[in-house]
């Protein structure tokens, strides 16, 4: 099966995800470590502006990193559909501080005709589990919708 989206994402392994159709991806400055069909692993560095008054990674930013990574996993499917979040659960199990490396892994667990279920984990550079989550997304058909593309993507 030809999947130009996945082929393109493979060329980004080891690179910062710049030129994404999602502006928050550029702000996060994640580095794509690995992508395969329905899976993505992205590394983020905790910056000062991502921390709370306790100088730890703010919980909402944990979830934004998780959502950003699951977006890559879902995008890798190459479907010309718009997927929107139905729910998103996060369990916070540890903390991170400025300059820590955060590794987020997302895997599409179930890919139905309408609903996707995605599992997400967050670890630090020492492989300590910091958070885990699960999200369900629903496929929406939108008249005239064309799958958003990264800057430089030549597919479809």
What CATH number is attached to the domain comprising 112?
Answer: 3.10.129.10
SS (H, E, C) the chain: CCCHHHHHHHHCCCCECCCCCCHHHHHHCCEEEEEECCEEEEEEECCHHHECCCCEECHHHHHHHHHHHHHHHHHCCCCCCEEEEEEEEEEECCCCECCCEEEEEEEEEEECCCEEEEEEEEEECCCCEEEEEEEEEEEECCCCCCCCCCCCCCCC
pLDDT (tens, 9 = 90+) of the chain, 156 residues, equals 688 889 989 999 999 998 887 889 999 999 999 999 999 999 999 999 999 999 999 999 999 999 999 999 999 998 878 889 999 999 999 999 999 999 999 999 999 889 999 999 999 999 999 999 999 999 987 666 566 666 665 554
Q: Is residue 62 part of a domain?
A: yes
* Tally of structural domains, the chain: 1
Q: Is residue 151 part of a domain?
A: no
Domain of residue 101 covers: 4-140
Q: What's the confidence (pLDDT) of residue 19?
A: 80
Q: Is residue 152 part of a domain?
A: no
Q: Is residue 118 part of a domain?
A: yes
Q: Is residue 113 part of a domain?
A: yes
Q: Is residue 116 part of a domain?
A: yes
Q: What's the confidence (pLDDT) of residue 97?
A: 97
Q: What's the confidence (pLDDT) of residue 51?
A: 97
> For the stretch 2-32, what's the b/e string if a residue is b when 16 or more beta carbons lie within 10 angstroms of its beta carbon?
eeebbebbeebeeebbeebebeebeebebbb
Q: Is residue 65 part of a domain?
A: yes
Residue 124: beta bridge partners? 102
Q: Is residue 150 part of a domain?
A: no
Backbone torsions φ then ψ of 31, nearest 5 degrees:
-105, 125
């Amino acid at each position: 099966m030809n999947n130009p989206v996945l082929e393109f994402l493979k060329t980004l392994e080891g690179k910062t995800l710049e030129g994404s159709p999602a502006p928050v991806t550029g702000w996060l400055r994640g580095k794509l470590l690995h992508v395969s069909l329905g899976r993505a692993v992205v590394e983020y560095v905790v910056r000062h502006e991502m921390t709370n008054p306790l100088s730890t990674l703010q919980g909402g930013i944990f979830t934004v990193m998780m959502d950003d990574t699951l977006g890559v996993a879902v995008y890798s499917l190459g479907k010309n559909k718009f997927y929107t979040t139905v729910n998103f659960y996060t369990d916070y199990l540890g903390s991170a501080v400025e300059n820590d490396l955060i590794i987020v892994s997302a895997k599409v667990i179930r890919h139905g005709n309408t609903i996707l279920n995605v599992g997400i984990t967050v670890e630090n550079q020492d492989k300590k589990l910091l958070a885990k989550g699960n999200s369900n997304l629903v496929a929406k058909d939108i008249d005239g919708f064309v799958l958003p593309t990264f800057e430089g993507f030549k597919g479809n």
